Amino acid sequence: MTDLILFWHRRDLRIADNVGLTAARERTSKVVGIFCLDPGILDQDDVAPARVMYLIGSLAALEKRYSEVGSQLLIVKGSPDQAIPGLAKSLAATAVFFNQDVEPYAKERDRSVIEALQESGIEVQPFWDQLLHPPKQVMTNAGEPYSVFTPFWRNWKAQEKAAPLTTLADVEGLTPSEQEQAQAAGTIALPTAKDLGFEWEHELILEPGEQAAQERLEAFCDRAIQEYGEQRNFPAVPGTSQLSAALKFGTIGIRTVWSAAEDVYNRSRSDETRQNVQTWQQELCWREFYQHAMFFFPELATGPYRDPFKDFPWENDQELFQAWCEGKTGYPIVDAAMRQLNTIGWMHNRCRMIVASFLTKDLIIDWRWGEKYFMQKLMDGDLSANNGGWQWSASSGMDPKPLRIFNPASQSQKFDPEGEYIREWLPELKSLDTELLVTGKIPDDERDRCDYPRPIVDHKQRQRQFKEIYQQQRAAR
Ligand code: FAD
């Protein structure tokens, strides 16, 4: 009988360019995929409906891919340390392979699954797939993890990158009687997001699945990447890849992404284009930097990195927070961004920085409130990137620059000079002069006429107040 390996998918929902899956196929021709719907994740109160839609859609696409290559994707629901070994035992699998993750919850979960499999005498093999360079591969000369981005980037960039792996092919799946056995052991049909209690009506900005991610990458490399450096800061312009959900769930392999960018770089004769490609590659490096940080400093997941923020006297006003969540602060660029998030489950990076600065520095609300709200809404919500982004914006993270306060008016004047983005997401302000929109200096009677709120705080005054609190905190430490 041919050896059976179960390949446990988690955030690698594809069959192309997948390290652990390729290794499984190299070992045996009989490889079956498995995905576990884990209540430990799905029952948390920070799960975004848009993210569940993307996940379920990508699992449906993955099921199809497996059947195209001759095998199956099995779905189970339950605690992974019971569901995975349970199925492996009943199918007499020789091994379970999977790709590792950096998050504290995932590391703990994997430890218990490995233990349970080993107790049952089933081989288990973890691999690294989601990063070009896994943790411990990019360290300082002293062998320490980096806490500052620029030297990390230099080291990371200089290291050789692996080429994309071949797509899984010619696989043997379960026989019909084995499929019945799997069902008896608890496999289920893939539920819908609604079955799991999540409602999402809006079209997703990136279609789920491997093929859509690949097509998006190709389209981005054909055009936008070549102007990325100039265009990426303008939220009204589709100047970024919008591949974040694909990278979060691994519907595309990071080696494939990197090599597509390298191709553009190598084909280009213009220094400017090359610079733009490199700027995008640097964003991929930020993604890895934050994942390495989460791996080495898991305490980041729950608290600040820098001392002055360890017991910061956040005001945490519930009403101000509510206004921020709903996009009703009276600051047009902030409100437009929050409405974009609430409507499509995604927000442009420039705007993520603006609203995060506003929540922490203007409203003096704990960055963890904003971090959680983002997780409840973002289709690409990812612990490492989200926590890194929030700590960067709050100035509580790994960053030598101490205080970063964004002025909403100058941000809109610079990055939405025609007010296009504001008009798109705040249609009630559509008819106002651009000057009023981008400076935010909208007279009260106009605000009332448009049914748009007055500013909930005064930016200048709050920024002064924040700085004072910050200086006191620093002096106290
Ligand atoms: P592109 O500009 O095309 O970048 C390509 C890829 O690089 C992205 O898809 C993403 O995987 C990665 N990337 C880009 N910028 C960053 C960054 N600053 N940090 C880490 N990775 C980056 N990104 C998430 O993927 N999930 C999050 O939950 C998340 N939360 C954020 C919260 C805050 C407060 C901030 C300031 C940023 C956050 N980001 C997060 C980073 C960034 O905003 C998004 O990755 C980006 O907007 C996604 O759009 P894109 O795919 O078009 O990016």
C-alpha to C-alpha distance for 237 and 434, rounded to whole angstroms? 17
What pLDDT is recorded for position 78? 97
Q: Is the CB of 216 under 6 A from ligand 1?
A: no
- Known catalytic residue at 367: yes
* Shared-domain flag, residues 449 and 325: yes
Q: Is residue 330 part of a domain?
A: yes
Residue 258 belongs to a domain with what CATH number? 1.25.40.80
DSSP string, 311-378: T------HHHHHHHHHT-SS-HHHHHHHHHHHHHS---HHHHHHHHHIIIIIS---HHHHHHHHHHH-
Residue 122 belongs to a domain with what CATH number? 3.40.50.620
- Does the predicted interface ipTM exceed a cut of 0.95? yes
Contact 153, 61 (CB under 8 A): no
Q: What is the average pLDDT across 346-363?
A: 98
C-alpha to C-alpha distance for 447 and 401, rounded to whole angstroms? 37
* Shared-domain flag, residues 381 and 406: yes
182-202: pLDDT as tens digits: 999 999 999 999 999 999 999
* Shared-domain flag, residues 114 and 137: no
* Shared-domain flag, residues 419 and 275: no
> Is residue 205 packed enough to be buried (19+ CB in 10 Å), middle (13-18) or exposed (0-12)?
middle
C-alpha to C-alpha distance for 457 and 336, rounded to whole angstroms? 17
- Among 242, 274, 296, which residue terminates a domain? 296
- Known catalytic residue at 200: no
Contact 380, 245 (CB under 8 A): yes
* Shared-domain flag, residues 1 and 78: yes
Ligand 1: which atom is nearest the Cα of residue 228? 2
- Known catalytic residue at 128: no
- The CA 234 to ligand 1 mean position distance, Å, reads 15
294-318: pLDDT as tens digits: 999 999 999 999 988 999 999 999 9
* Shared-domain flag, residues 106 and 215: no
Q: Is the CB of 370 under 6 A from ligand 1?
A: no
410-420: pLDDT as tens digits: 999 999 999 99
Which residue has its alpha carbon closest to ligand 1 atom 42? 349
Q: Is residue 60 part of a domain?
A: yes
Which residue has its alpha carbon closest to ligand 1 atom 29? 386
- Known catalytic residue at 390: yes
Q: Is the CB of 381 under 6 A from ligand 1?
A: yes
What pLDDT is recorded for position 450? 97
* Shared-domain flag, residues 21 and 52: yes
Ramachandran angles phi, psi of 73, nearest 5°: -110, 120
For residue 443, give both structure tokens.
């007279």
Range of the domain at 260: 130-163+210-296
Contact 116, 82 (CB under 8 A): yes
Q: Is a pLDDT exceeding 90 seen at residue 35? A: yes
C-alpha to C-alpha distance for 357 and 355, rounded to whole angstroms? 5
Higher pLDDT: 230 or 423? It is 423
**Residue 96 forms beta bridges with which residues?**
6, 124
What pLDDT is recorded for position 307? 87
For residue 116, give both structure tokens.
């349970």
Site to probe by mutation for ligand 1, drawn from 132, 233, 287, 357 as the one with most ligand atoms within 8 Å of Cβ, is 287
476: confidence class by pLDDT, cuts 50, 70, 90: confident
**Number of domains the chain contains:** 3
pTM of the full structure: 0.98
Which of the 8 DSSP states describes residue 204? P
477: confidence class by pLDDT, cuts 50, 70, 90: confident
Ligand 1: which atom is nearest the Cα of residue 246? 9
C-alpha to C-alpha distance for 293 and 313, rounded to whole angstroms? 26
* Shared-domain flag, residues 288 and 259: yes
206-246: pLDDT as tens digits: 999 999 999 999 999 999 999 999 999 999 999 999 999 99
Radius of gyration of the chain (CA): 24
C-alpha to C-alpha distance for 387 and 53, rounded to whole angstroms? 22
What pLDDT is recorded for position 14? 98
Which of the 8 DSSP states describes residue 442? -
What pLDDT is recorded for position 167? 84
Q: Is residue 368 part of a domain?
A: yes
- Among 296, 325, 352, which residue terminates a domain? 296
Taking the alpha carbons at both ends of the chain, their separation in whole angstroms is 66
- The CA 163 to ligand 1 mean position distance, Å, reads 23
- Known catalytic residue at 425: no
Q: Is residue 356 part of a domain?
A: yes
32: confidence class by pLDDT, cuts 50, 70, 90: very high
- The CA 222 to ligand 1 mean position distance, Å, reads 21
Which residue has its alpha carbon closest to ligand 1 atom 25? 244
- Known catalytic residue at 156: no
* Shared-domain flag, residues 256 and 374: no
Q: Is the CB of 9 under 6 A from ligand 1?
A: no
- Cβ neighbours around 458 below 10 Å, total: 11
263-273: pLDDT as tens digits: 999 999 999 99
Q: One-letter amino acid identity for 398?
A: M
C-alpha to C-alpha distance for 67 and 381, rounded to whole angstroms? 29
Q: Is a pLDDT exceeding 80 seen at residue 402? A: no
Q: Is the CB of 378 under 6 A from ligand 1?
A: yes
- Among 85, 110, 129, which residue terminates a domain? 129
* Shared-domain flag, residues 115 and 149: no
Q: Is residue 184 part of a domain?
A: no
What pLDDT is recorded for position 387? 98
What pLDDT is recorded for position 314? 97
Q: Which residues contact 41 (CB under 8 A, 6 or more apart)?
A: 47, 105
Q: What is the average pLDDT across 47-64?
A: 98
288: confidence class by pLDDT, cuts 50, 70, 90: very high
Residue 445 belongs to a domain with what CATH number? 1.10.579.10
**Which of the residues 178, 262, 283, 424 is marked catalytic?**
283
* Shared-domain flag, residues 137 and 118: no
Q: Which residues contact 237 (CB under 8 A, 6 or more apart)?
A: 231
Which residue has its alpha carbon closest to ligand 1 atom 52? 242
Q: Is residue 173 part of a domain?
A: no
What pLDDT is recorded for position 173? 97
**Which of the residues 200, 346, 390, 425 is marked catalytic?**
390
Q: Is residue 201 part of a domain?
A: no
What pLDDT is recorded for position 396? 94
For residue 200, give both structure tokens.
């999402």
* Shared-domain flag, residues 240 and 122: no
Ligand 1: which atom is nearest the Cα of residue 243? 51
Which of the 8 DSSP states describes residue 433? -
Q: Is a pLDDT exceeding 90 seen at residue 169? A: no
Site to probe by mutation for ligand 1, drawn from 254, 283, 396 as the one with most ligand atoms within 8 Å of Cβ, is 283
Q: Is residue 302 part of a domain?
A: no
